[in-house]
Amino acid sequence: MHQYVTATDGQRLAVRATGPADRPVLLLVHGYPDNASVWDALVEELAGEYRIAAYDVRGAGRSTAPDTRAGYRMDQLAADAVTVADAVSPGRPVHLVGHDWGSIQSWHAVTEPRYADRFASYTSISGPDLDHAGHWFRSAPDGLRAVLRQSVRSGYIGFFHTPLIPELAWLTGLGGLALAGMERVGGGPARPARRTTRDYVNGLALYRANMIPRLTRPAERRTAVPVQVLAPANDAFMVEQIQSNAGRWVDDLRFHRFQGGHWSLRSRPGAVADRLRSFVEEVESGAPRPRRSPAAARRHGGAFAGQVAVVTGAGSGIGRALCLELAERGARVVAVDVDGPAAERTAELCALLTPGAAAQRVDVTDASAVDKLATRVREEYGVPDLVVNNAGIGAAGPLLETPIADVERLVDVNLWGVIHGCRAFAPMMVEAGGGGRIVNTASAAAYLPSRMYGAYSATKAAVLALSRSLRGELAPSGIGVTAVCPGLIDTGIIGATSLSGVSEAQEARERLARLYRRRGYTPERAARRIADAVADAPDILPVAAEAHIGLYLSRFAPAAVRALAKAGLPV
């Protein structure tokens, strides 16, 4: 059903509504240079589940266009969203969904205090708040490299500010050809866009009326409206950091990566629909939602906000420290360990930072138990964004003097535990649209052999090789796989390490423990390093300095590595 709604300045906005009148209302706001037809594939995915309204923003599609640039300013665009919301859902908040410029103007609406009660939730796809972006460019919280990458991707904005030339590019068709090339990034559209020359030309005023004043003089714009940010992995115009930065300004944020390009709402509508459906149902249920403290939000932004993170070996050491670090950054942690009480204690500590943490007692050597864990996580918390296969045990001594039972136990925990975790969680992460992360804990021993750690090194080398192979396997789904090689981290692992063929084992154990303590690299420091690197999903992540040096030697000085292997470590 099509109707026209009159905006506060007299412009007429074309609105199309469909779906059951008694269902929650989704209000869809398109970007540039699109019109409301860009949502057709997503509307089909959600048909019958919601009341869905999509409108042509001013100047696009069937809507009228202002005579002056002032008619495209952000305050007016935000007021348009509220006007349409009042028309399609009088007296009941709507679930706002924006893409590209529709996302930018929708951010302005939900961060306006007088409008907040009109929105039950907001889902942003490929578009930041301009004021948030202005602060991000100034402070560079994610590093200069991210700012430079975003500056390159935003280079077209300067072109759009030049007089007449952009209009000529659209009128001659050259701009359309360039845009079609951009759309092919990330898989291409599922159906051709139904754009008109009018959509291309009028929408240039969006940039000219808003970009410079908002980016150069950013305001403080916060919101208590629940927000979900969807960041396609192959977005040609957006780096994910400028979008996750919203966590510094939003009380209740969900940040999710998924595989796709800038126009994923057309090329991968199923993945977008799944995330949207899950978020709307969560908000509509009225269940308590995890919120981070303002201090934590300011420190870490939103790269992990609202994400589900499963960590095995979470009862102590790096596993527990990583759980706490992720919870500090806004993740809902599922702490897994064979020691149930230890996992529960980790979850209790995590819940103090971000509510919603849970504990599960699971032996990772049991494939069926890990499969049941994956099913339970999906049903109770949703498909995880991050899975960390961290459970592991240590062993030292010559291979020929190590009891076969100890070797089998090493392989079962250190290798099979990782295999079981990958096989249980990766398929559901692919099915959910990809974009997640899998982190497998290996060791610097994976590339630094030693006559004293033969069996242990073998299991960790296998984890490294497995991770690299799985990385290639999952690359088409946008799921990053990283092998973490910590180095000498003072986790207390030596106390539980079995020693074989070593005289005076207890004395040797104490000497090794002292070595780790003197090294002084704490699990908390390692956890921060891992969490900082997860977004970029490196192939291999050495943590401590000796792990970096060992990796360098293994690549460029193999003779030195062989000499170290013969010498072994002092025990």
Identity at 539, one-letter amino acid code: D
Nearest to 415 by CA among 477, 490, 466: 466
Identity at 419, one-letter amino acid code: I
In the beta sheet, which residues pair with residue 234? 261
Separation of CA 365 from chain center: 28
Would you say 88 and 15 are in contact if contact means Cβ atoms under 8 Å apart?
yes
Residue 169 and residue 164: Cα distance in Å, rounded? 9
Residue labelled with tokens 């074989």: 500
Strand 12-18 with 2-6, pairing: antiparallel
456 counts as catalytic? yes
Distances (CA, A) of 293 to 198, 247, 252, 334: 45, 11, 10, 20
In the sheet with 332-337, reading across from the earlier edge strand, the strands are: 358-361, 332-337, 308-312, 386-389, 437-441, 480-485, 540-542
Q: At what angle do helices 558-567 and 545-556 cross, to 10 degrees?
A: 120
**What is the CB neighbour count within 10 angstroms for residue 3?**
14
Tokens of 8: 């506060």
Nearest to 483 by CA among 561, 358, 390: 390
Identity at 208, one-letter amino acid code: R
Residue 469 and residue 434: Cα distance in Å, rounded? 17
Distances (CA, A) of 257 to 30, 235, 400, 437, 515: 20, 11, 47, 9, 41
Residues 6+ apart with CB under 8 A from 273: 42, 45, 46
Would you say 271 and 258 are in contact if contact means Cβ atoms under 8 Å apart?
yes
Residue 465 and residue 458: Cα distance in Å, rounded? 11
DSSP letter (8 states) at residue 217: S
Tokens of 472: 């290639």
Active-site residue identified among 72, 456, 516, 521: 456
Would you say 469 and 454 are in contact if contact means Cβ atoms under 8 Å apart?
no
Helix or strand or coil: residue 208?
helix
Catalytically active residues, by annotation: 456
